[in-house]
Amino acid sequence: MKTNIGLGTKMIHAGAEPDPCTGAIMTPIYQTSTYVQESPGKHKGYEYARSQNPTRFALERAVAEIENGKYGLVFSSGVAATDAVIKLLKPGDEVIAAADMYGGTYRLFSKVFQKFGIIFHYVNMQDAAAIKPFINKNTRLIWTETPTNPLMNVTDIEAVANIAKAHNILLCVDNTFASPYLQNPLDFGADIVMHSATKYLGGHSDVIQGCLIVNDDKLRDDLYFIQKSCGAVPGPQDCFLVLRGIKTLHVRMQRHCENGEQVAHYLRSNDKVQHVYWCGFEDHPGYAVAKKQMRGFGGMMSFTLKDDSIATANKVLSSTKIFSLAESLGGVESLINHPASMTHASIPREERLKNGLTDSLIRLSVGIEDAKDLIADLAQAIG
């Protein structure tokens, strides 16, 4: 696909080619486990569906194109994609990871891979220089996400990439919160981009999936070997759903950004709200970096109340009528979430508090409904 086309055109046409058999404009769902061969080893490029599937390959082309990458790989979940990245490492290798990140990533690192001798250091990456003291001869990977989940901290991808390259360390960026519409980490020097495609890429809360995007040939081959060998691949129906979701990513993200801005400013004006975490405020510590590397500020935010108690937070969480109390994010519908007991419960409380994630913090995934209705819903819930 041409590289000078607009974002919307890219989203609609990424990975899409008319079906060669019928001319169908939508990629067919190839619901098959295996493929007939003419003779041993002589086939049409497909042998077994864990290794190859045409619907999956179309999606892998699509995610590569929308992230300005050369190769895409899709997995059965975002955690499975993360798992594949860590499987590039061996016992004794060290990872520098963001202190403020998705709880499922922390759980995978600390409860699964740490047992196999991989060492993790958790660092506040709002200042890229904070990474340097943790680099040694065993450091193989830097893992960050920006904006972070749920405190909306911003990492300067280019600054971290420069440090990583100077020491021959891989940099992986979890780009789930921003989506490829708002941010493309490969353009700033990242080696791997990870998405929970469950979120904005799918966009309709009806699929679980993850993906990785890279430019390096060997890195792609190594990750493909892990994907094929460990088997965490998505089914073709799920791939079809994410392909369909990507076609409307640009219009959805525009509305998420518009609604997010209105909701964030409303919350900040509410005299019962203590603090609003949203990287679109000009006084946000990471605003300048976010403005440099993002095309907008998205619909994700968190807030605390002046009455900083679990009971008051629970009342708000249980009182919304349009915002649904649920895990996940990035769907067309607005969600409200309690990180301490839901998405980040696997992080020890003392670690959460050290990073600023209080017991009463509330996270919002602002959807694409009418903003006035969302604001009215929050107003009645906060009281």
Q: How many residues would you count in the chain?
A: 383
| Residues whose CB falls within 8 Å of the CB of residue 370, separated by 6 or more in sequence, listed in order | none
What is the rounded distance in angstroms from the CA atom of residue 273 to the CA atom of residue 128? 31
249-269 helix and 371-382 helix, angle to the nearest 10 degrees: 40
Q: Under 8 Å CB-to-CB from 4, ≥6 apart: which residues? A: none
What sign has the CA pseudo-torsion 168, 178, 327, 60? negative
Q: Whose CA is closest to 173, among 198, 200, 199, 195?
A: 195
Q: Exactly one of 30, 102, 181, 200 is catalytic; which is it?
A: 102
Which residue out of 50, 70, 244, 268 is catalytically annotated? 50
Structure tokens at 169: 């360390």
Q: Is 50 a known active-site residue?
A: yes
The β-bridge relationship of strands 71-75 and 210-214 is antiparallel
| 59, 243 contact by CB (below 8 A) | yes
Residue 161 Cα to chain centre, angstroms: 18
Q: Which of 61, 199, 252, 363 is catalytic?
A: 199
Residue environment code for 26-56, b if the CB has 16+ CB neighbours within 10 A, otherwise e: ebebbeeeebeeeeeeeeeebeebeebbbbb
| Residue from 174, 191, 238, 377 carrying the catalytic annotation | 174
Angle at 271 between CA 314 and CA 298, to 5 degrees: 70
Annotated catalytic residue 115: no
Per the annotation, the verdict on 71 as an active-site residue is no
Instruction: Please indicate whether residue 247 is annotated as part of the active site.
Output: no
* Count of CA atoms in the C-beta half-sphere (13 A) of 39: 0
Burial 161-171 (b: 16+ CB within 10 A, else e): bebbeeeebbb
Three-class SS state of 131: helix
Beta bridge partners of 383: none
- What residues are labeled active site? 50, 102, 174, 199
